A = this chain, B = another copy of it.
Amino acid sequence: MAAARQVNIAIIGAGGVGKCFLAQLEQLAQRRPNPKLVLCYISTSRKAVYSNEYSPIGLDIAVSALASSSQTPLALPSLAEYLSESDAKTVLIDNTSSQDVANAYPLFLSLGVSIVTPNKKAFSGSYKLWKDIFSASAQPGGGRVFHESSVGAGLPVISTLKDLVETGDEVTKIEGVFSGTMSFLFNSFAPTSGSGGKWSAEVKKAKELGYTEPDPRDDLNGLDVARKLTILARLAGLEVESPTSFPVQSLIPKELESVASGDEFLERLPEFDAQMEETKAAAEKEGKVVRFVGGIDVAAKQVKVGLEKFDRSHPIASLKGSDNIISFYTKRYGSNPLIIQGAGAGGDVTAMGVTSDLLKVLASL
């Protein structure tokens, strides 16, 4: 039998998702000896581990090797050159949320390096970057690019939408709850039974449980959801210019937009509880509950993000915990949509989407 082929893996980012991915990669390399997966580069924003000979870095000691390393990360153009000069095929795993790294994808892809990432920035930034990425990938010899975890973490959202489009179905509408944080907040604030807590108290609790960004305004401004909708709308064929080119409702009171810190924001948020209480009461009057959702009307070329009212029996209303739900309405599926539901955030499930994308790349190399 022939010797196992080798595939080089480079990883940028070793935070929550990065560490979970390393653990999954270690398991994968043990279970599937062919192709041989060789970690040849790993970096955080300040440190790196690599050698001129692409020597394997032990997957079990990568994190501690990083901590004790005195090497600094290669500049992105140098990293692209370094990776593309190996004889082996190479996959870059971008586990950051960096716009800079995203901007370099076309360079990596044009040099034949494949990319797997949960980073939303590349696919929800300017429409020019989106086009540059996919045209670099489509060139002869271009690398492949997968980003399942950029929407709904490990849930099969991107792959399902691509399958629908590529097999010739006509997607007419996409709607759902796309943020684990928003899901948790509204499931607690406006539950389908019982009365729920005060808005500011729920935000504080979500932060304490680690369900929000360090500054909760980074969730409440709606931009995270807008980025995900931008990605799905583009996959469905709409040329969305940017995540700020359609209506996005922010849940940050105008008066608190410019306060200095997340802590000060949380301190003053109770002043605005009455506004959210009013919104909740208005929905209750109609027998409904309020939820923070995103929607894409493909025919009308409209994308929007914000609060909407739902019947208590609606699947969006009865969501639990921090689950996401995404409904695809298509010509083939008719009046009952294809629905995908489950945890849409968390290190392990996000890393799972990255690992399953890596398996797709490996199958194609």
Name A284-321 residues within 8 Å CB distance of B: 313, 315, 318, 320-321
A363 and chain B: residue at smallest CB distance: B364
A356 and B352 CA atoms in complex are apart in Å by 21
- For window 336-365 of chain A, which residues contact chain B by CB distance below 8 Å? 336-343, 346, 348-349, 352, 355-356, 359-360, 363-364
A363 to B362, CA, bound (A): 11
Contact pattern, A 37-58, Cβ under 8 Å of B = 1, otherwise 0: 0000000000000000000000
Known: A352-B332, A356-B166, A359-B166. A155 touches B342 (CB 8 A): no
Which listed residue (B27, B140, B159, B343) contacts A1, Cβ 8 A?
A: B140
Interface check A167, CB cutoff 8 A: yes
Query: What residues on B are CB-neighbors of A160 within 8 Å?
Result: 156
| B338 lies within 8 A of A333 (CB) | no
- Closest Cβ of chain B to A142, distance in Å, is 13
Chain B residues in 8 Å Cβ range of A77: none
A156: chain B residues at CB < 8 Å are 156, 159-160, 163, 340
Inside 8 A of A1's CB, which chain B residues have their CB?
140
Interface on A for B, CB 8 Å cutoff?
A: 1-2, 24, 27-28, 31, 140, 154-156, 159-160, 163-164, 166-169, 313, 315, 318, 320-321, 323, 332-343, 346, 348-349, 352, 355-356, 359-360, 363-364
Interchain residue pairs with CB less than 8 A apart (15):
A2-B140, A28-B166, A28-B167, A31-B168, A163-B356, A166-B359, A167-B352, A168-B355, A320-B336, A333-B343, A338-B342, A339-B341, A339-B342, A341-B341, A360-B363
Given A156-B163, A313-B318, A338-B341, 13 more pairs with CB closer than 8 A: A2-B140, A24-B167, A24-B168, A28-B168, A154-B163, A156-B160, A321-B336, A332-B346, A332-B349, A332-B352, A336-B343, A339-B342, A363-B364
